[in-house]
Copies of this chain bind each other. A is one copy, B any other.
Amino acid sequence: MKKRAVVLLSGGLDSATCLAIALSRGYDVFALSFDYGQRSASELLAARAIGLAAGIEKHLVIPLGIGALRGSALTDHQVAVPEQESSGIPVTYVPARNTVFLSYALALAEVSEAQAIFIGVNARDYSGYPDCRPEFIAAFETMANLATKSAVEGCPIKIEVPLLMMSKAEIIKSGTALGVDYTSTVSCYQADMNGRACGLCDSCRFRRKGFFEAGLPDPTRYQST
């Protein structure tokens, strides 16, 4: 039987590369994306396009219901709302993000009998997020292997993080070597409905710098062009 992996696919540059790496390692891939409200529509379209381009047949989009959580939490903390908004927390912010994503991936791994979960976290460029660190990933894997019947009964699950220590330029070079077309990927925090990037946000600047340092043309579709 061919080995199988669940790959978390956001529609961004990192997860598109992660998908290509999983395929290059011979996995039959079940892609998993999340719908957490309208603002993520262009990301989801990008995720679909990337999956189709890679020939993925199984791609699941799970509605996350995180809007309810955010809304409720904010209702309960009315004083904090304006401050939080003005300090620039994006509307797509998901609390305990990678824990929630990986938990659904674990559920899908259980029902689809996958041996691995690929997630495109990176500890170098985004070191501010605790759930992108190697120690978090290791702790999640330990927990996951105590959580499900299949894992306990001798089919352990591996959390694969191939991009963990790569620079953005290294990620882009790896993906390009594997044939990834980055044109349809969306990294921008405020992409428009057609997936065109603002060119100004942190994510856009990281990405542009990555292509520059990789010595490759930037195929990103910007809103001004």
Q: A residues touching B (Cβ–Cβ < 8 Å)?
A: 30, 58, 60-66, 68-70, 72-74, 76-77, 94-100, 102-104, 106-112, 130-131, 133, 135-136, 139-140, 142-144, 146-149, 151-152
Contact = CB atoms under 8 A, between A and B. Distances in A.
Nearest to A131: B147
Given A65-B62, A68-B61, A146-B139, A111 B95 contact: yes
11 contacts: A30-B76, A60-B68, A69-B108, A73-B108, A74-B111, A77-B111, A95-B111, A131-B147, A136-B146, A142-B142, A143-B143
Q: Taking the full assembly, how many copies of this chain does it contain?
A: 2
A107 B98 CA distance: 10
B144 A142 contact: no
A95 B103 CA distance: 10
Nearest to A157: B96
B69 A107 contact: yes
Contacts of A133: 146
B107 A130 contact: no
A107 B100 contact: yes
B69 A99 contact: no
A97 B103 CA distance: 9
A147 B136 contact: yes
A63 B63 contact: yes
A109 B103 CA distance: 16
A69 B143 contact: no
A130 B146 contact: yes
A99 B143 contact: yes
Residue of A72, A98, A112, A147 ringed by the most chain B CB atoms within 10 A: A147
B69 A95 contact: no
Contacts of A130: 146-149, 151-152
A63 B64 CA distance: 8
Contacts of A66: 62, 107
Nearest to A130: B152
A133 B145 CA distance: 12
Given A107-B69, A111-B69, A98 B63 contact: no
